[in-house]
Structure 1
Amino acid sequence: MDSPPLTLESLGFTAGEHGWSREVAGRPLTFRRLRTRADLEQTERLQREVFGVSERDLASFSILIVIHKTGGDVLGAFSGERLVGYIWGYGGYVNGRPRLVSDMMGVEPAWRGGVGWALKAFQACIALADGFPEAVWTVDPLRAANARLNFARLGAHANEYLEDFYGSDFAEGLYAGLPSDRLVVTWPIASPRVAATLQGLTPPTDRAAILALPDYGPSTAQEVRLAIPSDIDAVLARDPARGRAWRYTIRTALQRAFAAGYTITDFAGSRDEDVGYFKLTK
């Protein structure tokens, strides 16, 4: 698949005196590396607001200030002087291969709807320029909005499942003690397919085609679908036992699917529906 080189300019960012500017949903934002104590401490506010983390789980300024020394970066999206979104990742090697471990991203609730994509796109271009061909991160498999971003809009994939990765007491204000299961997401940012996806040169997710797939479990076809709740927070608020049941149902299904050779390659769903669907391919 031919596509132009993946650069910030190719994704609509414009270089300026204070960083890179880009409109998101009609609102101007500035994206830049975070290096000062004042900037990095703003991420602490968002960690509490977005994830409800305890002081024990908070990634403080004193931790974040050294990330760029690993080859990674802490990046932010600003409206004026206010930080409305952040993302950070550590640089490193696994089996001699360089990769960025994108550890955490958070967006102020009032700014959701495009800022997450822009932060990931900003991160991808900087990571590529710094010599990283891929990025990896973990994500809760029950979060449909994240699944839509990661698989439908970024072109990432997942075929590894981690049980209770951070412990059941992580972000209790958000998860009410639910086991912190995670998918390991891989994003091959040096691939032509990801470049084309980010640049809008590939067809959008064929929602109807995913909805028409057989359900995983009864079917072992090459392509199947697997339902997750469209809003796990609403489920947990309404019926915590049902939210916990979703956790264990999806844990069992994905562990079996990955062992059978399936990979999550796409996602279809909307906030107006009760469930969304992973597309599993083998």
Structure 2
Amino acid sequence: MAQTALQEARDAVDQATTRAQVVVRPVTETDELVAMEALLAAVWEHPPGSVELDITLLAALARSGNYVAGAFRADELVGATAGFRCEPFPVTLHSHVTGVDRQRAATGTGTALKAYQRLWCLERGITGVRWTFDALQSRNARLNMGHLGADWVSFHVDYYGELRDGLNRGTGSDRLLLQWDLTRTAADRADKTQQPEPAQTLLARGPAGEPVLGTRPTTYSRLEIPTDIDGLRASDPELAQRWRDTLREVLPGLIADGWRVVDFDEDGAYVIAPPHEQEPR
């Protein structure tokens, strides 16, 4: 099984990097780490004097056996990712940050970075990756849960406290924590127990883009989120905050009662499973 997953990971890197026209590789040289610091600061729209990940920490991670990699297009850095080993040791990586310069990078660069992350980990005996992401980011939810097949672990209100970057300042830092089983192959994902089609929609996008709550679910249900929360924050910050507040109102109570987030569908909604149902993955 491990060898099958490893070969699948190698093939996935070849396919993803070819599609995105990038080379993904470890970054250890100072000039490239400086470029990585600048790229991450720009992606998260940090004000002058603030960075997403400091060059000294990037260098320390890169030179101490942790994970620091870049996506290069014609020798130009267009994507970056960094992480560190975490509990349960020694088989887990915490993927702390992944950013793509969407002005210069081709579609699929983020997928190529995740594909390479899987290969890098499996070659070192790491079989699981954990990371957090903003529960309102539909693009990330679709990649993380729908495409990669990462599993939901937990939901946290203000996981990082108040953030200072331009994308998240004043919006709260609620996060879903995910776990990606790197040994699970495409065949495993295809053979997993299939959950029923959701019969209810607990949270829907209203006609003006507003969150509309339905009745408490009794079976598999959907929680829709905005298709572009970053654009909504720019055009209507009050409405964006309503979405944040609504998820805060709904998710913790459901999770406390044993409901689980099991998927993110192609129509832009989380799928939640009722308590005591068999795990679908």
TM-score, normalised by the number of residues in structure 1: 0.81
Change (3 A) 1:169 1:31: closer
The 5 Å alignment of 1:70-81 reads 71-81=65-75
Q: CA deviation at 1:70?
A: 5.2
1:273 equivalent in structure 2: none
Give per-residue Cα distances to partners, 1:121-178, cap 9 Å, x unaligned: 110111122121211011000100000100111001214112212223331x213411
2:199 equivalent in structure 1: 213
2:131 equivalent in structure 1: 137
1:278 equivalent in structure 2: 270
Distance (Å, rounded) in 2 between the aligned partners of 1:97 and 1:215:
40
Q: CA deviation at 1:235?
A: 1.2
Deviates most, 60-69 or 236-245: 60-69
Aligned alpha-carbon RMSD (Å) = 2.7
Are 2:25 and 1:24 aligned? Answer: no
**Which amino acid in 2 is paired with 1:167?**
G
Q: CA deviation at 1:222?
A: 4.0
Change (3 A) 1:2 1:261: farther
Distance (Å, rounded) in 2 between the aligned partners of 1:234 and 1:258:
29
2:176 equivalent in structure 1: 183
**Which amino acid in 2 is paired with 1:253?**
V
Distance (Å, rounded) in 2 between the aligned partners of 1:85 and 1:22:
12
Give per-residue Cα distances to partners, 1:201-221, cap 9 Å, x unaligned: 739xx9xx86x5312362433
Are 2:232 and 1:260 aligned? Answer: no
Q: CA deviation at 1:254?
A: 1.5
Distance (Å, rounded) in 2 between the aligned partners of 1:159 and 1:242:
28
1:17 equivalent in structure 2: none
Distance (Å, rounded) in 2 between the aligned partners of 1:3 and 1:196:
13
2:4 match: secondary structure: coil
Q: CA deviation at 1:185?
A: 1.1
Match among 184, 190, 213 for residue 202 of structure 1:
190
Distance (Å, rounded) in 2 between the aligned partners of 1:257 and 1:170:
30
Deviates most, 81-90 or 109-118: 109-118
Are 2:154 and 1:160 aligned? Answer: yes
**Which amino acid in 2 is paired with 1:117?**
T
Change (3 A) 1:141 1:65: same
Structure 1 runs not aligned, ≥5 long: 15-20, 271-275
The 5 Å alignment of 1:60-139 reads 60-68=54-62, 71-94=65-88, 98-110=91-103, 111=105, 113-139=107-133
Distance (Å, rounded) in 2 between the aligned partners of 1:255 and 1:170:
25
1:35 match: secondary structure: coil
Change (3 A) 1:113 1:100: same
Size of the aligned set, in residue pairs, is 257
**Which amino acid in 2 is paired with 1:158?**
W
2:223 equivalent in structure 1: 226
Contact 2:40 2:80 (C-alpha < 8 Å) held by counterparts: no
Give per-residue Cα distances to partners, 1:52-71, cap 9 Å, x unaligned: 13434431221111214554
1:24 match: secondary structure: helix
Distance (Å, rounded) in 2 between the aligned partners of 1:218 and 1:38:
55
Contact 2:10 2:119 (C-alpha < 8 Å) held by counterparts: no
Structure 2 runs not aligned, ≥5 long: 203-213, 275-281
Moved over 4 A (4+): none
Contact 2:13 2:115 (C-alpha < 8 Å) held by counterparts: no
TM-score, normalised by the number of residues in structure 2: 0.82
1:5 equivalent in structure 2: 5
Contact 2:6 2:123 (C-alpha < 8 Å) held by counterparts: no
Percentage of matched positions with identical amino acids: 30
